[in-house]
Amino acid sequence: MRAKAFIAAALAASLLSISAPARAGEDYGIGRPATSEEIAGWNIDVAPDGAGLPPGQGSVAQGAQIFADKCAACHGDHGQGKPMDALAGGAGTIATPKPVKTVGSYWPYATTLYDFIHRAMPFNAPQSLSPDEVYAVSAYVLFLNHLVPADAILDAKTLPKVAMPNRDAFVSAFTPAPGKAP
Amino acid sequence: MVRRYTNKSASRREILTGAASLAGAALAASTAEAETPTSNLPPGVPEWQQQPGAEVMSPPYGQPSPFEAGVIRRERTGGSPYPTRQAAVSLTPLQDLHGIITPNGLHYERHHGGVPAIDPAQHRLIIHGLVDRPMIFTMADILRFPATSRLHFLECSGNTQNWGKPDAALTVQDTHGLLSCCEWTGVPLKTVLDAVGVRDEARWMLAEGADSAAMTRSIPIEKAFDDALLAYAQNGERLRPEQGYPLRLLLPGYEGNTSVKWLRRLKLGEAPWQTREETSKYSWIMPDGSVRQFNFVMEAKSVITSPSGGQKLAEPGFHEISGVAWSGHGKVTRVEVSTDGGGAWSDAALQEPVLPKCLTRFRLPWRWPGGPALLSSRATDETGAVQPSREALLKQRDARSYYHYNAIQNWQVAADGAVTNAG
């Protein structure tokens, strides 16, 4: 008798829990915590303040060699473009009727160059360059735009400090709603 | 003479050869469309009625009639402006579509590093940054969350390049084909963000794709918590590879590029990341030389799809003028149509459903008297925004802004009925 009552009660309880509706904002218990190793492998973004830049360094001279080997075929020997985007030139043209947009003339942050080359270039083998190689080839592209000297060596400290001429022209068209975010 | 087959009397062999010859006849007819055998027209009994047709499941995944073989995505008339075919676009054939839904195989494409071939069993979404619990989700996990379906358009930021002198040869596929509309199914992003616990300091979210471009855009947190969707299905079936299979972000009303495909990572942070796609691209130069970035919402816009560039009105008389209207700000409330280049405007009928951030089909009956006509449409949305004329838009900004061209489209009808792009 007792056992029967117990089973009935357990059954009722389990039925209750089965039918309890999940509420909005509730923890559904779906997914699992991401490990720091998993996050580290994919956490490749670089912010304008340099957050996310890895240890390592590269010089303009090293970058010239990498560029000749891995970039020039698509972007031109001196980054002048053809067949793909020009990476150098166009200085002072942005506010004219015929703007020539390049890394040097248009881009507001040097950190974007590191982020983009590492994630997406060379086009045929993205994410294949080591941090040293990305620093070096970034330095070379900036050198082609006369934004760093021929003997420049870039790393996580110096890259975010490279002054980009068109930086102050950028204005955000997005106005966040006032008050606390949702 | 009337021959009749029934399922009982026809042998399997007869059915098979019948199906094969039917397919053959269809192909032959499509190559020599003009020479329709007169015996297929009344009073004759058409050949396709004289024997049973193809079996079920021929093929298992149904395809359009071979007579519709011309209804395909295309690159721009006169050649693609892109040097590669992996970082390029293909355009939706708006002139051939009916209603508001874009069939999955005709959804426009814009890729920056080609279409990855992702095994869904090996796809993961990581959410981290300013969250209480950094989490990793499998596709099976994502499919367990409570889901929803919504109809929304997607428009590429660079759709409609009418800034300069109009090219008369362009069709509506060329001018407006970076526009599609589907029913999207997935998990409201808010549901998943609530599950990981977004911290108060978070103001922006980085969305990253698993394609070779590792596409990234910074998204305002307001949008992430508003109507953003983690979409895994499109028009009832799982996403097409070129639409982000197995998982994409869908940001209703925002420029297409922000709806990051092949979504693998969301990171919460305090400030935008200033990725290449929100600095070098998808930003624009204003006449004063300043550069505007984060131009998210696609503005009120409409276009007549029939009659449109490249078509020809066969004869004077009745023709329905029909097209689509949309706004990233909400619902379309009004579409006006002019047949005399903007002199007089008439209200077109808006076909239900009229939904926010979705294509709305409009229709207006028209009697073409013959002679030249200039057809235009003008949309108004629920915020009161009215689609501008080209002149009005050019007073705000010019070809240097490239993106977000939403001015009124005009189609020139010549005296012989030929329709061309008038910008």
What DSSP line would sit under B235-248, residue for residue? TTEEPPGGGTTT-E
pLDDT digits (tens, 9 = 90+) for B190-223: 999 999 999 999 999 999 999 999 999 999 999 9
Confidence tier at B35 by pLDDT (50, 70, 90): low
Six-digit token string for B103: 């069939």
Same domain, residue pair B309 and B207: no
Read off the pLDDT of each residue in B358-383 and give the average, rounded to a whole number. 98
Q: Which of B256, B290, B324 is a domain's end point?
A: B290
Per residue in B273-307, pLDDT (tens digit) is: 999 999 999 999 999 999 999 999 999 999 999 99
Is the same domain home to B152 and B194?
Answer: yes
Interface of A with B in 84-123 (CB under 8 A): 84, 94-95, 97, 99, 101, 103, 106-109, 111-112, 115-116, 119-120, 123
Per DSSP, the residues of B334-381 read: EEEEESBSSSS-EEPEEPSP--TTS-EEEEEEEEE-SS-EEEEEEEEE
pLDDT at B29: 33
CB B19 within 8 A of CB B53: yes
Cα separation, B303 vs B8, whole angstroms: 52
> What is the reported pLDDT for B80?
85
Nearest CA to CA, how far is A131 from chain B (Å)? 17
pLDDT value of position B96:
98
> Is residue B316 a part of any domain in this protein?
yes
In chain B, residues with a C-beta closer than 8 Å to the C-beta of A44 are 214
pLDDT in tens, B171-186: 999 999 999 999 999 9
pLDDT score for B32: 41
For residues B111 and B212, state if they share a domain.
yes
Would the CB atoms of A172 and B293 count as touching at under 8 Å? yes
HSE value, Cβ hemisphere, 13 Å, CA-based, for B52? 16
What is the average pLDDT across B332-348?
A: 97
Residue B65 to residues A136, B23, B69, B103, B326, Cα–Cα distance (Å): 56, 10, 7, 14, 30
> What CA dihedral angle connects B381, B383, B389 and B394, to 10 degrees?
-140
**φ, ψ at B20 (rounded to 5°):** -65, -45
In chain A, what are the domain boundaries? 47-169
User: Is A165 part of the contact surface with chain B (CB cutoff 8 Å)?
Assistant: no
* Long-range pairs for B20-25: beta carbons < 8 A, 24 or more residues apart: B22/B47, B22/B48, B22/B51, B22/B53, B22/B54, B23/B54, B23/B66
- pLDDT for A177: 73
Q: Which one of A23, A26, A28, A94 would you mutate to disrupt binding with B, by most B Cβ within 10 Å of its Cβ?
A: A28
A55 cis-preceded (ω within 30 degrees of 0): no
pTM (two decimals): 0.90
Q: Does residue B51 form part of some domain?
A: no
Helix axes A131-144, A111-120, angle to 10 degrees: 120
What confidence score (pLDDT) does residue A180 get? 58
At B108, is the pLDDT very low, low, confident or very high (cuts 50, 70, 90)?
very high
Q: At CA A113, angle to CA B108 and CA A70, rounded to 5?
A: 85
Residue B399 CA, chain-centre distance (Å), reads 23
What is the number of structural domains in chain B? 2
Name the fold adopted by A47-169: Cytochrome Bc1 Complex; Chain D, domain 2 (1.10.760)
pLDDT for residue B33 is more than 80:
no
What percentage of residues in chain B have a pLDDT greater than 70? Answer: 91
Residue that terminates a domain, selected from B266, B290, B314: B290
Contact A45 B400 (CB under 8 A): no
A13 touches chain B (CB under 8 A): no
Same domain, B235 and B274: yes
The confidence score (pLDDT) of residue B78 equals 87
Q: Cα–Cα distance between A178 and A165 in angstroms, integer?
A: 31
pLDDT of B67 strictly over 60: yes
B26 in any annotated domain: no
Mutation target for B interface from A116, A124, A129, A145: give the one with most B CBs within 10 A: A116
**pLDDT tens figures, B396-419:** 999 999 999 999 999 999 999 999
Closest CA to B125 of B147, B114, B141: B141
Q: Coil, strand, or helix at residue A8?
A: helix
Cα separation, B280 vs B220, whole angstroms: 19
Task: Select from A119, A121, A162, A167 the residue whose CB has the most chain B CBs within 10 Å, as the one to mutate to test that interface.
Answer: A119
Which of the listed residues B239, B256, B290 is the one where a domain comes to its end? B290
Task: Note whether A52 and B275 are within 8 A (CB).
Answer: no
What CATH number corresponds to the domain at position B391?
2.60.40.650
Say yes or no to pLDDT of B6 above 90.
no
Q: What is the pLDDT of residues A4-37, one digit of tens each?
A: 444 444 444 444 445 555 555 567 999 999 999 9
Residue B7 inside a domain? The answer is no
Written as six digits, the tokens of B297 are 């919402």
Residue B139 above 70 pLDDT? Answer: yes
Q: Which residues of chain B have a CB within 8 Å of the CB of A83?
A: 83
Element (H, E) at B78: none
The interface predicted TM-score (ipTM) is 0.89
Rounded to an integer, the average pLDDT of B344-360 is 98
Cα–Cα dist A132/A159, whole Å? 12
Q: How many CB pairs under 8 A join A and B?
A: 159
Smallest Cα distance from A6 to chain B, Å: 33
Q: Which amino acid is at B332?
A: V
Mean pLDDT of B141-159: 98
B261 shares a domain with B331: no
In a domain, B184, yes or no: yes
**pLDDT level of residue B11 (50, 70, 90 thresholds):** very low
Kindly state the average pLDDT of the residues A160-166. 98
pLDDT at position B34, please?
52
Are B207 and B116 members of one domain?
yes
B108 and B256 co-located in one domain: yes
* CB–CB contact A34 B126 (8 Å): yes
Per the listing, tokens 């509706």 go with A21
Chain A nearest-CA distance from B85, in A, is 12
Let me know if residue B154 belongs to a domain. yes
Residue A181 near residue B219 (C-beta atoms within 8 A): no
**CATH number of the domain within which B201 lies:** 3.90.420.10
My answer on whether B210 and B252 are in the same domain is yes
d(CA B24, CA B17): 10
CA B367 to chain centre: 29
Cβ contact B214–A173 (<8 Å) = no
For Cα atoms B377, B378, B384, give the angle at the middle one, nearest 5 degrees.
Answer: 160
> Do B255 and B313 share a domain, yes or no?
no
B140: domain range? 89-169+176-290
Q: List Cβ neighbours of B69 (8 Å cut-off, separation of 6 or more).
A: B30
Please state, in angstroms and rounded to a whole number, the distance separating the CA atoms of residues A128 and B212.
11
Tokens of A118: 């590492």
CB-based contacts of B12-18 (< 8 A; 24+ apart in sequence): B14/B51, B15/B52, B15/B55, B18/B51, B18/B52, B18/B53
The answer, yes or no, to whether residue B23 has pLDDT greater than 60, is: no
| Closest-approach residue (CA) in chain B for A103 | B280
SS3 of residue B208 by DSSP: strand
* B127 and B250 belong to one structural domain: yes
Hey, what amino acid is at B21?
A: S
- Average pLDDT of chain A to the nearest whole number: 89
Q: State both tokens at B160.
A: 């409609």
Q: Are residues B322 and B234 in the same domain?
A: no
The 3-class secondary structure across B304-335, one letter per residue, is EEECCCCCECCCCEEEEEEEEEECCCCCEEEE
Q: Which residue of B has its CA nearest to A94?
A: B289
